[in-house]
Amino acid sequence: MITITEYDESSGQFGFIKGFSDEETYDLNSDNPHVMGSYSGEDYYVVDGEAIERPASPVTLSDLTLLGVPAGSTLTINGERYDAEGDVELEFPLQGTYMLRVECWPYKDWTGEVVV
């Protein structure tokens, strides 16, 4: 029995994990690119046909400023999504706790919270 993980060639993002009696049986049943083994898309992606660990996000929080937000990022604040990049100054209309998430492939998601 073998386990393979399929992935998207353009992004390197992992998709389905499948089991087969042998690789030849898999090759007869799928044209999708794959790597041998079982990989979580939360922790790994594919570069040049090899599974590698996703890098940590470069984002840091300093007071009410997100620093180092990569180009092409999505910032989510309490479920509301925004495009973001660079250093992002945060402003909140009301006091409270705000949950933050920055997503930008292939970085792992950054999460944090701000209390104002």
Whole-number Å distance between alpha carbons of 50 and 80: 35
Q: Tell me, what's the pLDDT at 12? A: 94
* Of 55, 44, 110, 106, nearest in space to 77 by CA: 110
Q: Tell me, what's the pLDDT at 115? A: 95
34 within 8 A of 16, measured Cβ to Cβ = no
Q: Tell me, what's the pLDDT at 28? A: 57
Interstrand relation of 44-47 and 50-53 (parallel, antiparallel or unpaired): antiparallel
Q: Tell me, what's the pLDDT at 29? A: 63
Q: Tell me, what's the pLDDT at 70? A: 98
Which tokens belong to 31?
A: 């044209």
Q: Tell me, what's the pLDDT at 80? A: 96
Q: What is the pTM of this model?
A: 0.82
15 within 8 A of 6, measured Cβ to Cβ = yes
Whole-number Å distance between alpha carbons of 70 and 47: 19
Q: What angle do CA 23, 38, 31 make, to 5 degrees?
A: 45
pLDDT, mean of each 10-residue run, the chain (116 residues)? 89 89 68 87 94 97 97 97 98 96 97 96
Where in the chain are the domains? 2-53, 60-115
